C-alpha cells in the first residue's frame, strides 16, 4: 500500500533562518506531488505542484521554493523565512487525476 511521510511535525524557526521540509511517498511510482499551506482556520493554498523529477510548477509567487530530486521526494525550502511564512504545511500525492489526493500529517511552522 502507498504511504506518505512528511517531517518534521512541528518546527519553530527565527525570522531570516532557512527552511527545509521533506515529503516522501512509498509504494507508488511517478506520483503527482503537491505542497499546500493552510493559515489558521482557513482553506488550503496550493504552493507547488510537480508531475515528475525536476518539474516544478509554482502557483503563487512567494518566499519559498520546491525541488524534486527523486521520483518520490518533494522538498519545500526557503533561504530566509518571513513572519508571514508561518502556517500549516501539507504535502499530498495523487497517482491518477481521477483519484483523490492523499495527504501527509502536515508540519506546523511557527516563525518567531
The interface region with other proteins, picked from 23-31, 34-42, 60-68, 70-78 by CB under 8 A, is 34-42
Contact 64, 85 (CB under 8 A): yes
If one asks whether residue 42 binds other proteins (CB under 8 A), the answer comes out as: yes
Q: Which residues pair with 52 in a beta bridge?
A: 55
**Nearest residue to 58 via CA among 77, 80, 84:** 77
What backbone torsions phi and psi does residue 72 show, to the nearest 5 degrees? -115, 25
The interface region with other proteins, picked from 14-22, 51-59, 62-70, 74-82 by CB under 8 A, is 51-59
Residue 37 CA to residue 2 CA, distance in Å, equals: 23
The interface region with other proteins, picked from 12-20, 21-29, 39-47, 78-86 by CB under 8 A, is 39-47
If one asks whether residue 26 binds other proteins (CB under 8 A), the answer comes out as: no
Sign for the pseudo-dihedral over CA of 54, 5, 47, 20: negative
Contact characters 75-104, other proteins, x per CB under 8 A: -------------x-x-x----xxxxxxx-
| Footprint of other proteins (CB under 8 A) | 32, 34, 36, 42-46, 49, 51, 57, 59, 88, 90, 92, 97-103, 105-106, 108
Amino acid at each position: 500500500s502507498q504511504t506518505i511521510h512528511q517531517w518534521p511535525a512541528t518546527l519553530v524557526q527565527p525570522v531570516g533562518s532557512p527552511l527545509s521540509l521533506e515529503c516522501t511517498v512509498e509504494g507508488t511510482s511517478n506520483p503527482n506531488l503537491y505542497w499546500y499551506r493552510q493559515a489558521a482556520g482557513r482553506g488550503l493554498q496550493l504552493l507547488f505542484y510537480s508531475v515528475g523529477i525536476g518539474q516544478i510548477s509554482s502557483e503563487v509567487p512567494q518566499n519559498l521554493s520546491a525541488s524534486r530530486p527523486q521520483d518520490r521526494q518533494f522538498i519545500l525550502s526557503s533561504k530566509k523565512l518571513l513572519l508571514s511564512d508561518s502556517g500549516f504545511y501539507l504535502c499530498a500525492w495523487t497517482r491518477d487525476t481521477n483519484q483523490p489526493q492523499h495527504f501527509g500529517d502536515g508540519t506546523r511552522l511557527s516563525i518567531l
